Structure 1
Amino acid sequence: MTATPTQHKEEPVPVALVTGASRGLGRALAHGLADLGWSLVVDARGADDLRSAVRDLPAGQVVALPGDVTDPPHRRDLVAAAAALGGLDLLVNNASALGPSPLPSVAEVPPAALRALWETNVVAPVALVQEALPLLVPPAAVVSVTSDAAVGAWPGWGPYGATKAALDHLTAVLAAERPDLRCWSLDPGDLRTRMHQDAFPGEDISDRPVPESVVPAFVRLLDERPPSGRLRAADLLPAVAR
């Protein structure tokens, strides 16, 4: 009797959508997920910067779509690209704006700038979640990149911090409404990024960790899948990395 070869079913490749992936944390996270074998949909407003950011990633593993997350057709295109890759296992709302630099006080922030911040940092990520929810089949996860400015009161950080506090709360409510998903707000801490430099114009921020240093925290989050909630990357990193 001839033995029948055992059929091994290949595991599907997980798919992540990461916004704001042309630089900083978004770029580092996209590369970290690609190294783990994930397929990716990534975006950023700058087409050239986005193209440069994904140039070294495996061909066929990443779909890079330049555009603005505040644009509804762009959000639809992002979700459609994820669907074409087979679904969506992880949505990372990383794209955000700082607002005017130097940081203005609450008394001085222009209302138009405040409205623009809310559109980018709150309305757009929530709208992207809404667009993506049909693809987010359990045990899929949503990560809202937040900030300590959402819970601390420091001069100049009111407008930005208020948007992050709002996104934190909306993410927590989403978790209550969709207990079948994981919904995390993750604070990466101060990092050596262009946005952080814009918050401190003319100052030396070279003492801040590089964005790649917190990627292991994201990986641990995905591996261990703690309950939904607000987390700090520093608490997910080994003591030597803090």
Structure 2
Amino acid sequence: MPVALVTGASRGLGLALARALAIRSWTLILDARGAADLDRAARELRALGDADVIAVAGDVTDPAHRRELRDLIRESGRLDLLVNNASVLGPSPLPPLAAHPPADLVRVYEVNVFAPLALTRLALPFLLAGDRGAVVNISSDAAVNAYPGWGGYGSAKAALDHVGATLAAENPDLDVYAFDPGDMNTDLHRQAFPGEDVSDRPNPETVVPALLRLYDERPASGRYTVAEFAPAVIS
């Protein structure tokens, strides 16, 4: 069975994608910071079918945790898909970039840029050893559009986009995608708009078909939006 490593898989888009892959009987290696939420998600996924679900709580910025994930890949014998989904927004409410606390900005870059790159480097030999591995970095429209308050998160996602594009240029046998899922009804969006009702945003489950279609069709490495693969998702 194909193997996927999905970070930030205890809720939101990560969990929604893991559900879809479990239904496809993939072997799943899942990561999230919250042990209780991750354990609950793993139990749910195992009940969906015959998918092998390996869940390890930890912070992707922790080198020891990343090595643990690497060792689980090795034990699984292959890796077909790495989804760098774990992310942090930064302070809420979102501050102007000039007032962004430096320590928080460092944390945003550690989680959204440096950790995905470090994890991808550890996973790269396994991704290149198979038929054709793929890396999906979850991006944002804030990576390409300037919005007040989004300078920290948006610039980090822009950096992650460029990291992925460079990895693709350096590894022509690897598919590397930046995938922009658009606004979603998730905890991150509730943090971005504190006090506002974000329930009118699409649920993460509605975005997953576009992400699966991206993986199945395998266009050239690059940046893609949900609308390009599932226009009906956008109302």
What is the TM-score with the length of structure 2 in the denominator?
A: 0.95
Aligned partner of residue 5 in structure 2, secondary structure: strand
Question: Corresponding residue for 1:187?
Answer: 180
Inter-partner Cα distance in structure 1 for 2:28 and 2:71 = 12
Question: Corresponding residue for 2:144?
Answer: 151
CA contact (8 A) 2:32 2:58 kept: yes
RMSD: 1.0
- Correspondences of 1:184-223 after superposition (within 5 Å): 184-223=177-216
Question: Corresponding residue for 1:124?
Answer: 115
- 1:111-151 CA-partner distances (Å, limit 9, x unpaired): 11111111111100000011111111240000000000000
Question: Corresponding residue for 1:234?
Answer: 227
Inter-partner Cα distance in structure 2 for 1:206 and 1:177 = 41
Question: Corresponding residue for 1:39?
Answer: 27
- 1:30 pairs with one of 18, 40, 47: 18
The AA in structure 1 aligned to 2:141 is D
| Pairing 1:88–2:76 present | no
Structure 2 unpaired stretches of 5+: none
- 1:75 pairs with one of 47, 66, 70: 66
Inter-partner Cα distance in structure 2 for 1:233 and 1:240 = 10
Aligned partner of residue 88 in structure 1, secondary structure: coil
Q: After TM superposition, give the deviation of residue 40 of structure 1 in Å.
A: 0.5
- 2:218 pairs with one of 206, 220, 225: 225
Question: Corresponding residue for 2:98?
Answer: 107
Structure 1 segments, 4+ long, off by >2 Å, are 239-242
Inter-partner Cα distance in structure 1 for 2:97 and 2:3 = 40
- Percent identity reads 59
What is the count of residue pairs matched by the alignment?
229
The AA in structure 2 aligned to 1:132 is A
Inter-partner Cα distance in structure 2 for 1:21 and 1:57 = 11
Question: Corresponding residue for 2:39?
Answer: 51
Aligned partner of residue 144 in structure 1, secondary structure: strand
The AA in structure 1 aligned to 2:8 is G
The AA in structure 2 aligned to 1:240 is A
Inter-partner Cα distance in structure 1 for 2:15 and 2:96 = 30
| Pairing 1:135–2:126 present | yes
What is the TM-score with the length of structure 1 in the denominator?
A: 0.92
CA contact (8 A) 2:26 2:51 kept: no
Q: After TM superposition, give the deviation of residue 240 of structure 1 in Å.
A: 3.2
Q: After TM superposition, give the deviation of residue 60 of structure 1 in Å.
A: 6.0
The AA in structure 2 aligned to 1:186 is F
Higher helix share: 2
